[in-house]
Amino acid sequence: MKYFVSVLFMLCTTAMLQAQDVRVNVVVPNAVRVGELFHLTVKVNANATSLKLPELSGITIVSNRGRSSSSSVSIVNGNITQTTEVAFNFVAQANSEGTHEIPPVEVIVNRNTYRSSPVSVQVVGENATTQQQPPQQQQQQQSQQPQQGSEAGAQPSSPHVPTDTRDVFVDVITDRRQVYQGEIINSTVKLFSRHQVAAINDIKLPTFEGFFSHELQTPPLRQLNQETINGIQYLTGVLRQYVLIPQRSGTLTISPCNMELVIYQRVQGQARNIFDEFFGRTQTVPRQISSRPIQITVLPLPEDRPASFTGGVGQMRFNVSVDKSEVKANEAILVKATVSGTGNMRFVEAPRINFPPNFEVYDPRANNQLNAANTSGSRTFEYLIIPRHSGTYKIPSVEFSYFDPQTRQYVTLQSE
């Protein structure tokens, strides 16, 4: 008889568990911007083993962040209650403006199919301001008879995550916006965030059409620095550094830098426990950010350029030397013309030297002693010459001209 009672108790307990309602909740923001990434989370209050997403219009699933689960057991007056919650986490992107409906999502629990209610997402323009409302959490509550499609109209509250278009941003910074053609521009791609950054997933760097660009070695971004801008504290980090040299005059545009990152964002709402009250709650939020395009005004070099101008723009010095002043006929002489200073050193071409007509002259070879940015140091041009006949010859003074953007004038230097 005891055996029969035990079996009956077990059957009743199992029946109670099977009779428990299964709820499927789809959690999304009320409004997002075109191109913005957002979380799409499907929550089930049971051990769901699989999920089927419907076809979506105007919204694309860009990442499946996987399945997570949690469970808890409570004992009150000898009654044991076990709670299970499973979450399927996705990152989605809004593709077009309008109100887009997410049809019911299907999940499988104990070989039964359960469905959520449809939920709508309003997609606004890129420059529009989204309303500060909590994310929607549409739910479908169903009993052990899932085919009947019974619904519960409850709308549980959800934490509110504030949205600020400038709380996280990336900028392409230049040290000047108006330069002469050939003048150096220092550029930095820099991240600014008022939140801790969990991950940087993808960076599409700007293009520098019309510029010669040289990327400098930038240390890996392992931590962010604190920086106060207009009284607001940001966490900042340098992503890339470049030296830019405009190759033509006119208005040149540096295209935006686009990047996807994940931030830790504080959740506003009622605390769930004492730890939330003391420490606050955060959640990871994907963000898609873009820098603003930068316009650079490039002035043309003055027309009255000297004949000895070879493309140098900056502040430079010039020197010419020979390795020997007395040789035999058919013996080689090495002449060195050295340009040193700061500027677009890599683009300085060899000066023209008028050697005597009966000298055999080989094309000059450039020897660079420049810094990593190629903006300072020296560039030496070595001329190998061979006099074919004996006699006394004079190499005339050599001129070298460059353009100084500070004085806005050409400067002509002569060798001794």
Q: 4-13, pLDDT tens digit by residue?
A: 333 333 333 3
For residue 68, being part of any structural domain is answered with yes
Give the pLDDT of residue 355: 93
C-alpha span between 271 and 236 (Å, rounded)? 30
Distances (CA, A) of 284 to 243, 263, 365: 35, 5, 57
> Is the pLDDT confidence value at 17 over 50?
no
For residues 139 and 39, membership in a common domain is answered with: yes
Whether residue 133 is predicted with pLDDT greater than 70 in this model: the reply is no
Q: Which region, left, alpha or beta, applies to residue 98 given φ > 0 means left and ψ of -120 to 50 means alpha?
A: left
Are 180 and 284 within one domain?
yes
Residue 210 sits in the same domain as residue 78? no
**Confidence (pLDDT) at 19:** 43
Residue 6 pLDDT: 38
Six token digits for residue 73: 């057991």
- Indicate if 25 and 115 belong to the same structural domain: yes
Residue 6's SS3 state is helix
Position 230 in a domain: yes
Question: Do residues 117 and 220 both lie within one domain?
Answer: no
Q: Is 159 among the domain residues?
A: no
Does residue 195 sit in the same domain as residue 325? no
| H-run or E-run covering 290 | strand 281-290
- Domain shared by 71 and 174, yes or no: no
- Domain of 366 in residue numbering reads as 309-414
For the record, the structure tokens of 257 come out as 């830098």
Q: Are 91 and 285 in contact (CB under 8 A)?
A: no
| Residue 162 resides in a domain | no
In a domain, 27, yes or no: yes
Residue 97 tokens, joined: 């403006």
Please give the tally of structural domains in the chain: 3
The sign of the CA dihedral 358, 364, 365, 369 is: positive
Question: Which candidate, 291, 317, 313, 319, places its Cα nearest to that of 300?
Answer: 313
